[in-house]
Structure 1
Amino acid sequence: MMSLPPGLDPDLLRAFVLIAEGGSVTRAAERVGRTQSAVSMQIRRLEEAVGQTLLIRTPGGMVPTPRGLWLLERARAVLALNDEILATLRAPPMTGTVRLGTPDDYALNWLPGILARFAEAHPSVELDVTCLNSGGLAERMRAGQLDLSLLTEGHQPHGMMGKQIWRGPLRWVGSPSHALHRRDPLPLALALDESGCPWRRAALSALHDAGHRARVTYNSATQTGCFTVALAGLALTVSTPTALPEGLTWMGEAEGLPPLPLMGIVLLRSPAMAGDRAAETLAMYIEEGFRQAESGRLGLSPVLVGA
């Protein structure tokens, strides 16, 4: 019977990551509470295990080799999973209810995997999910009716700071079967103006600056509604990178349309949830889920669809 090769010790990976990030064996030793010689020995053991030189000394400190850089990204993921397993199994069962707000398109494109992993690890926590546009969610956050909410950048209630967890390009979307980009004025399907949608402002401002006349012929509270109108060949709309419905395509310079700015998505925490273990844990899952999706480790593309 063939024996399996030994696995990599997480402690060795942690020492490697700390040195690679801090550029110093001394700082890494201080972080883990060990001597410099002990940490140096851990790196030697790791390099012997993988048969590669992972770190080299430069005038600016210790830096990863090309193979070390390859390992660094994967070591971070392994350690995050290792820490999650230990924290989940050692902690007492988590209970309670977390009230999460999200635009419906974020819920569809980002959250299924994240919420499934959270529910698997913490089955006794109830999730109360509210789907509204960012303007409506901001009002509910202000009223204390939500613990956490995903919002499009620019919708944060006054005095409530959100953490940006993704940023990417806004792009034009339309039906390739209709030459709507040649219309004057351009027909657009955008979010309702009453929500103060940053996407709407960005699209209209870009067209104005480029000398294009435009008319918002359809208003929708959701991105799904805007896509529906675009599929019918009645208007152009905007979105950030996502899997477009069949019948829609990305548009831009080739169609004479001006470039659009970057847009962000933020995770907003209610001040009242401070110390709420279940809400804080879900926030951690959401942040990590977005990071992993952006890097492609879960097979997802960076998605931000909704205003």
Structure 2
Amino acid sequence: MSDNQELDVILLRSFLAVSETLHFTSAAQMRGVTQSTISQHINRLEQAVGASLLHRTTKQVELTPQGMQMVSFAQNIIHAQGMAMDYFRSGTLRVELRLGIAEDMVVSRFPEMLKRFRRLYPHVEVRLTVGLSRELYNLLDAGALDLICTKRKEGDERGIPLWRERLQWLGGGNFDTLVEGAVPLVLFSGNSITRVAAIAAMNKVGRAWRASFMSSNLGALVAAVRSGYGVFAQSGLLVSQEIVPVPASADLPPLPDVDFVMVGATEQLEGASRDLADLIIENIEGLAPPGSRIIAGTSPCGSEARKVTAI
């Protein structure tokens, strides 16, 4: 690709239509043009980047490795163009909300709720950061985030309580390794809330344990548990067909309760942070896992909390 070449968005849209349908005729119908026009667009795009993006035979169309990469580039370019056009067409002042959420909340209905928030408040640009609780608190205190939704940090009473739940021992379904010997624990490598809780629970009852797998990434821990490396102490948000509660017969020690909270950069939430907080509280029963106790909008002691039941 020469320095003076540019990627035409029209060509990229035709390419994405082909990548989605893997059929030139279907792509032409999707784009409202002729099949020959689609072919011309693909040829011009391949010439522009200097690479073959599609492998074409008489029977099928396949993406080449370069074509697979181009799909991501094309989507990002078109998305960026759309954002730019929306910004200047709206005539509305854009507002940025820097939001941080805990990794385990990503597997809840939180993404659906954020999608609804963007529909209700199109002028608010949500910049999302996903991480461990301690990382989110550090970013908030450093002024890099406006609002975080995460587990309450020990000794930190800030924020609006959302729900309280008992941490659970979860595993991949094969619990034979828990019968004898040291319990294999899958742990965060950092000083996380769940790591501290798991180790403290084991030590409190004198139960032998060993760190069978450690990572700073929740996705890696989930993969390790699915693969049978051991068990971990986590929120009920992670329960699925592949990640299930450890049976009582394993006789693992009880784990503590944790509170999920919203904490803002200022004591009183304002503007977009307040709007998002209101929407979260409105939809809290759809976000909290079964068995948890909703404490959003209740007294500090949670005496009016209500339990979430499985649907």
TM bracket (short chain): 0.5 to 0.7
| Structure 2 Cα separation of the partners of residues 302 and 104 of structure 1 | 21
Deviation for aligned residue 1:245:
4.1
Among 142, 151, 162, the alignment partner of 2:159 is 162
Over 3 Å counting, the alpha-carbon distance change for 1:270 and 1:285 in structure 2 is same
| Structure 2 Cα separation of the partners of residues 217 and 152 of structure 1 | 25
Tell me which of the two structures has the higher relative contact order, counting C-alpha pairs closer than 8 angstroms and 6 or more residues apart: 1
2:235 maps to what in 1?
240
Over 3 Å counting, the alpha-carbon distance change for 1:216 and 1:96 in structure 2 is same
Deviation for aligned residue 1:287:
2.4
Residues 252 and 259 of structure 1 are in contact (CA less than 8 Å); yes or no, is this contact kept in structure 2? no
Among 169, 172, 176, the alignment partner of 2:173 is 176
Matched positions, count: 203
1:100 maps to what in 2?
99
* Sequence identity (%): 23
1:24-43 superposed matches below 5 A: none
Over 3 Å counting, the alpha-carbon distance change for 1:285 and 1:94 in structure 2 is farther
1:281 maps to what in 2?
275
Deviation for aligned residue 1:182:
2.1
Task: Look up the equivalent residue of 2:136 and give its one-letter code.
Answer: L
Q: Secondary structure of the equivalent of 1:242?
A: helix
- Which of 128-137 and 174-183 deviates more? 174-183
Moved over 6 A (4+): none
Residues 217 and 235 of structure 1 are in contact (CA less than 8 Å); yes or no, is this contact kept in structure 2? yes
1:226 maps to what in 2?
221
Among 198, 205, 208, the alignment partner of 1:203 is 198
Over 3 Å counting, the alpha-carbon distance change for 1:280 and 1:95 in structure 2 is farther
- Which of 282-291 and 112-121 deviates more? 282-291
Deviation for aligned residue 1:237:
0.8
TM-score by length of 1: 0.59
| Structure 1 Cα separation of the partners of residues 93 and 104 of structure 2 | 28
Residues 138 and 155 of structure 1 are in contact (CA less than 8 Å); yes or no, is this contact kept in structure 2? no
| Structure 2 Cα separation of the partners of residues 220 and 286 of structure 1 | 30
Deviation for aligned residue 1:155:
5.8
Q: Secondary structure of the equivalent of 2:134?
A: helix
Task: Look up the equivalent residue of 2:126 and give its one-letter code.
Answer: L
| Structure 2 Cα separation of the partners of residues 302 and 99 of structure 1 | 29
Deviation for aligned residue 1:221:
2.2
Q: Give the unaligned 5+ runs of structure 1.
A: 1-92
Root-mean-square deviation over aligned CA pairs: 2.9
Residues 101 and 148 of structure 1 are in contact (CA less than 8 Å); yes or no, is this contact kept in structure 2? yes
Residues 134 and 151 of structure 1 are in contact (CA less than 8 Å); yes or no, is this contact kept in structure 2? yes
Over 3 Å counting, the alpha-carbon distance change for 1:169 and 1:180 in structure 2 is same
TM-score by length of 2: 0.58
Are residue 188 (structure 1) and residue 182 (structure 2) matched?
no
Q: Give the unaligned 5+ runs of structure 2.
A: 1-91, 291-306
| Structure 2 Cα separation of the partners of residues 302 and 268 of structure 1 | 22
Deviation for aligned residue 1:208:
1.7
Deviations 1:170-227 (A, max 9, x none): 111112235121242111011223xx32222221122122221112232222332222
Q: Secondary structure of the equivalent of 1:187?
A: strand
